[in-house]
Structure 1
Amino acid sequence: MDNPLSKIDYNKTNGLVPAIIQDAKTKNVLMLGYMNEEAVAKTQETGNVTFYSRSKERLWTKGEESGNFLELVDLKVDCDNDTLLIQAKPVGPTCHKGTDTCWGEANSSNFAFLSKLEAVIKDRHDNPDEESYTSSLFKKGINKVAQKVGEEAVEVVIEAKDNSEELFLNESADLLYHYMILLRAKGYDLEDVVKVLEDRH
């Protein structure tokens, strides 16, 4: 079977190809570097992502001075064979300025809209609003929150046996929303649940 890395076209950009570094877990983009054939080989050999530094004019293993290595998880070549996507496990911050990414963003898990909803739920928990339904549930205590999750779960089961797509999806949304409230009431986040699923996988 052909090695896809043997198809990398280093000639298009004078011996260097851009390498996008992505956190293997969070899927966030951490940085962009450049690699030549030797850098790719050393990355595979050592398991630590190595670049060709254009300023130092030599191979440079990320973390060789700081200890903030990028441990290789996977390496892919794009459809034109001239760009690499490297999934890695960062050991410490990636940027030399001390931030998680070279764009100054936190390298935290993101579940798209669910992360925004989770932030709103957390705010309603930490900063109660008398007019907020979510805050009122937190105020009633863990038993009421858990009871509400049970009620919504029953509603989902009932609608699953019917043929109304709208009712089923609405009850499913209610269940997910109240479950996220329960997680916050217990002091957990979606990421904690995802970690359990990942460990099982």
Structure 2
Amino acid sequence: MEIDFSKNNDGLVPVIIQDYKTRKVLMLGYMNYEAYNKTVDTKKVTFYSRTKKRLWTKGEESGHYLNLVSIKNDCDKDTLLIEVSPVGPTCHKGTGTCWAEENDANYGFLSNLEDIISDRIATADSKKSYVASLLANGINKVAQKVGEEAVEVVIEAKDNDEELFLNESADLLFHYLILLHAKGYKLQDVVDVLEKRQK
């Protein structure tokens, strides 16, 4: 990999550290040529510490290593994106990231939708909220609704109305998220099962 360590007078390039599973940015560090080579050789991310003035392998004291998964160079060849499998929290203050966040997976809009469903169930009036009213009718009603939506997806899959197929698919996913919540689970629990099946 061609990396331009000469662009800065100090011979360092910035390194963005990202969890390969959760996709969260965990921290920012710096590498020189030696730190890069040690990272590649040991498969544990090593930085050049600007304060200690030496190579520093993340986790060398705490045991919270950043196990190397992949390294990507940016278009200017002077910034690295390193995907890792972290052991424990990344920040020395004990949080998952150096921005005081936990290193939880986030599925963007779907995670936001899960939060909205949780909020509606917890706070909304069942006479005004569809989600709350569905849950008020019990788990059997929720499960039945998921079954109905699944059948509608199958029916629409056989036709050529793509818009209707996508709308029914959205209805199925929405009601499935409600069912997951009703059973005390989240999308992440399903992802965990799928990851265990992956070979």
CA distance in 2, matches of 1:135, 1:45: 55
**Shift of residue 128, structure 1, vs aligned partner:** 5.0
SS in 2 for 1:52: strand
**Shift of residue 65, structure 1, vs aligned partner:** 2.0
Q: Deviations over 1:107-161 (max 9, x none)?
A: 2111111110001112233445322111122222221111100000111111122
Q: Deviations over 1:2-59 (max 9, x none)?
A: xx2xx11111123111110000101111111000111112112222211000111000
Alignment partner of 1:31 is 2:27: yes
Q: 1:145 aligns with which of 142, 147, 150?
A: 142
Bigger mean CA offset, 88-97 vs 172-181? 88-97
CA distance in 2, matches of 1:40, 1:126: 49
SS in 2 for 1:85: strand
Using the size of structure 2 for normalisation, the TM-score is 0.92
- For 2:47, the equivalent position in structure 1 comes to 51
Q: Deviations over 1:62-94 (max 9, x none)?
A: 122222221111112222221111001122221
Moved over 6 A (4+): none
CA distance in 2, matches of 1:23, 1:85: 10
Aligned residues: 196
Q: Note the residue ranges of structure 2 that are not aligned, 5 or more in a row.
A: none
- For 1:183, the equivalent position in structure 2 comes to 180
Using the size of structure 1 for normalisation, the TM-score is 0.91
Equivalent runs, 1:109-188 vs 2, <5 Å: 109-127=105-123, 129-130=125-126, 131-188=128-185
SS in 2 for 1:116: helix
The amino acid across from 1:172 in the alignment is S
Cα RMSD (Å): 1.5
CA distance in 1, matches of 2:14, 2:196: 33
Q: Note the residue ranges of structure 1 that are not aligned, 5 or more in a row.
A: none
